[in-house]
Copies of this chain bind each other. A is one copy, B any other.
Amino acid sequence: MKTPTAAILVVGNEVLTAKVQDENGPYAAKRLRALGVQLTALLTLPDQLDVLAEAVARERTRVDWLFTSGGVGPTHDDVTLLAIARALGRSLARHPVLADHIRGWHRRHGAEPPEAALRMADVPEGTRLAGDPAYPVMVVENVVMLPGVPQFFRAQFDAFTAVLDAPPFRLASVYLGIAEDLFVQALDRVARDHADVDIGSYPRFDDADHRVRVTFEAKDAARVEAALRAFLATLPDGALLRREGP
């Protein structure tokens, strides 16, 4: 089975201007990993129509799912849905179910919605609703349009991704007491010989109990183990402090 792929586009002037730190990207990264989905890009861009439309057009062709976060409210800086429509060559159209949701919410609070609120139901033509019908997730082609407010982002992200299901990634780590340049040539060879295993090398220069963590990751635990063993066989005595996984 091909590993599903995803990208995340955070529409975040407030992140770029350092007013807040993004929570949605890290949350989605963690959840996608647990679901066995490969995250290939995490982009934070400003709420500019042309910038967003270009990024959506480019990134969505590279992945199975593009998740956007933010820019779906009623104010002038909420341009994400229009940008996605442009990227897909679609127009915006008022979605009757979403408009009913907004009307229902306002009536429960004792008023008809202003036109500005109903504009939140103007979505790329062909948008379908997924997840919980009481709080639907907007999806058009392979673009999933999520709100930026973290508690809503999480609820909708989880509702949508519950149906994604892929074999898990298998991760093994070795913690070493020697510097990178003492094993880099051996690791190079192992990486070449085991191209189906993702190998990462993460040196530490603080007071951690190890100097380098080397990670081996793939969907097939046997391949992870084979790459790891091939690497361990090259290490001098005493270099390995401990290992974890897969």
Contact = CB atoms under 8 A, between A and B. Distances in A.
Given A21-B26, A77-B200, 14 more contacts: A15-B42, A16-B39, A16-B42, A18-B26, A19-B202, A25-B44, A41-B46, A42-B43, A73-B180, A74-B181, A76-B188, A76-B199, A77-B199, A116-B184
A29 interface: yes
Contacts of A45: 40-41
Contact of A39 (B17, B21, B217): B17
Q: How many copies altogether?
A: 2
Interface string A6-34: 00000001111111011001100110110
A191 B21 contact: no
B44 A43 contact: yes
B44 A41 contact: yes
A184 B17 contact: no
Interface string A34-68: 00000111111110000100000000000000000
Contacts of A46: 40-41
A202 B33 CA distance: 29
A237 interface: no
Contact of A16 (B22, B29, B204, B215): B29
A110 interface: no
Contact of A200 (B14, B26, B51): B14
A100 to B, nearest CB: 16
A117 B181 contact: yes
Which are the 9 A-B pairs with shortest beta-carbon distances?
A117-B181, A116-B184, A42-B44, A75-B201, A18-B33, A18-B30, A76-B191, A18-B29, A16-B39
